[in-house]
Structures are given as structure tokens and as C-alpha cells.
Amino acid sequence: MNKAQLEEMKDRLVEKLGVQLEKEHQLAPVSARIFATVIMSGKQGITFDQLVKDLQAGKSTVSSHLENLQVSNRIEYYTKPGDRKRYFIVNPALMKNYINELTTKWEAQRSVHQEVLEFKRLSNEINKGTTETQFDLEFQQSLLTFFDEASEALEKLKLRLKSQDK
């Protein structure tokens, strides 16, 4: 793969990721493409002028969407000594916050589904003998296993992110 092919791949991923960000995070199309481009630029970041060029959007449009992404704490910028440009990067705390939100959401869901499983078990004990009233517990148990394994994976990711901060 050469640089031109890599750049084409990046452009396709920006579009694909942009569509996903639009849907999942209710971002405007231009905001989603800016955010996707910033994500794809990595630690080195991307300048305002490069965003305007890459996205073929107007300066005022890019400027207002950058402002919104900064206000929502999705992105931030840094400067280099002797360079007047701002380099936009993903807010490092964003992933940690997202992981914490997911963990909290899954823990709440797990708790409710644990109670549902207990209800089904009790119901099965009380309604012994009639197969129509017996609950299949396998799905509920599988769902709880998923929550446990997903939460464990998120904890590992959090630890990895912490170690990168040092």
C-alpha cells in the first residue's frame, strides 16, 4: 500500500466514522466529519486550515462546528512553541468518560436483569410441573454473562488508558 492508497482509505474511514457519529451522538454532518477527521489525525492533531481543505468546507462552517465540538468536550487543541496554529485533538478524557458512562449503564442493566433472573427462578420453583409456565433461564444467564465480560473488558481498557497517561 502506498501513501495515496492510505490517504484514500483514511478518507473512506472519515466518511464511515462520520456517519456513525452522526447517528450515535446526534452530531450535525459537518461536526461528525470534523470529529472523525480529528480522530483519524491521532496525537499530532490537525490544523484548522487542514480541516477546511480536507473537508472542502467553508471557514465559518468549520469554525462554528469546531467551537461546538470544543464546548461539548469532544475535542481540544494545543499549540507548538513558535507556531501560531492550533492543533485539534480528541479530548483525552473523552474515552475515559465514555467508558465510565457505559460501565454505569451496564451495571444498572445487570442489576435489573439479575432481579429478573431471580424472579424467573422463583416462578419456576412455584409453578413446577407445567411447562407452559416455566421460564427458560438460559437467555437471562447469557445476558448477565455478557454484562460481566463486557464490564471486565472495559475495566482492562481503563487500566490501559491510565497507564498511557503516565
Sequence spans of domains, the chain: 3-90, 93-165
Residue 18 has pLDDT above 90, yes or no: yes
Q: Tell me the H-state helices in the chain.
A: 3-25, 29-41, 48-55, 59-71, 92-126, 138-165
pLDDT digits (tens, 9 = 90+) for 87-133: 999 998 888 888 888 889 989 999 999 999 999 999 998 888 777 77
For domain 3-90, the CATH architecture is: Orthogonal Bundle (1.10)
Q: What is the pLDDT of residue 166?
A: 61
Q: What is the pLDDT of residue 33?
A: 97
The percent of residues in the chain predicted with pLDDT above 70, rounded, is 99
Residue 128 has which C-alpha cell?
A: 413446577
Average pLDDT across the chain, whole number? 92
Q: Rounded to an integer, what distance in angstroms lies between the CA atom of residue 119 and that of residue 115?
A: 6
The lowest-confidence range among 4-8, 22-26, 92-96, 111-115 is 92-96
Q: Rounded to an integer, what distance in angstroms lies between the CA atom of residue 107 and that of residue 148?
A: 9
Task: Summarize the confidence of residues 50-69 as an average pLDDT.
Answer: 96
Let me know the angle formed at the C-alpha of 20 by 49 and 55, rounded to the nearest 5 degrees. Answer: 20
